[in-house]
Amino acid sequence: MKPEQILELDAVVHTPIRLAILSILTGVESADFTFLKKTINTTDGNLSTHLSKLEEAGYITITKSFKGKRPLTTCSISETGRKAFLLYINQLEQIIKMQKS
Amino acid sequence: MKPEQILELDAVVHTPIRLAILSILTGVESADFTFLKKTINTTDGNLSTHLSKLEEAGYITITKSFKGKRPLTTCSISETGRKAFLLYINQLEQIIKMQKS
């Protein structure tokens, strides 16, 4: 990888909070909004914004339902999202290799 | 590393163009503005903005001189910048390990 190829990193994945979300979602079948919010330690508004961005990119699916009378928002990573995430991780590895060579 | 620690990534280094600049500067004693611009394939304005940001953070030093009658802007990474960059690369490695474990 050449330094200029760093500019090809997927901007949807690269933002730290979205990287954290995808990183959590790759390891589980699904995660609910409250769990993500607590784990990432962010606000409702900020988490919503970034989940929407990931959904728009087709990287996650968001399901809204109810748990008893309380609304439940569940997120899971899509195949497209998983591929984008793995490609990103692969590019990070190339960046590291470039530094160590 | 836990997913939420991704949010601790140094925002000054994390922006792709700045990551590319630091990545180039770690490998050389210094690089001039034109070289960086051509290598990263960006505009004067964009490169200037990000070089200033790196300079403000104390990560690079910028020297302005003349080569004959033409102004010459030379950049080099500082010790602080090198440490920040290495820490960042180390954090990337942790992110990758987290994914592979």
Q: What is the ipTM of this complex?
A: 0.82
How far off is chain B from A51, nearest CA to CA, in Å? Answer: 15
The fraction of chain B above a pLDDT of 70, given in percent, is 100
User: How far apart are alpha carbons A55 and A76 in whole angstroms?
Assistant: 10
pLDDT digit string (tens) for chain B, length 101 residues? 788 889 999 999 999 999 999 999 998 999 999 999 999 999 999 999 999 999 999 999 999 999 899 989 999 999 999 999 999 999 999 988 888 77
CB count in 10 Å sphere of residue A83: 12
Run of H or E residues at A7:
none
Chain A residues at the B interface, defined by Cβ less than 8 Å, are: 3-4, 6-7, 9, 11, 14, 16-17, 19-21, 23-24, 26, 39-41, 89, 92-93, 95-96, 98-99
The fraction of chain A above a pLDDT of 90, given in percent, is 81
pLDDT digits (tens, 9 = 90+) for A21-52: 999 999 899 999 999 999 999 999 999 999 99
* Contact (Cβ atoms closer than 8 angstroms) between residue A11 and residue A19: no
CATH architecture observed for domain A3-96: Orthogonal Bundle (1.10)
Chain A nearest-CA residue for B19: A6
Does the predicted TM-score (pTM) go above 0.90?
Answer: no
- Return the amino acid letter for A1: M
Token digits for A38? Answer: 């607590």
Q: Considering only the top CATH level, what class is B3-100? A: mainly alpha
Token digits for B29? Answer: 């004693």
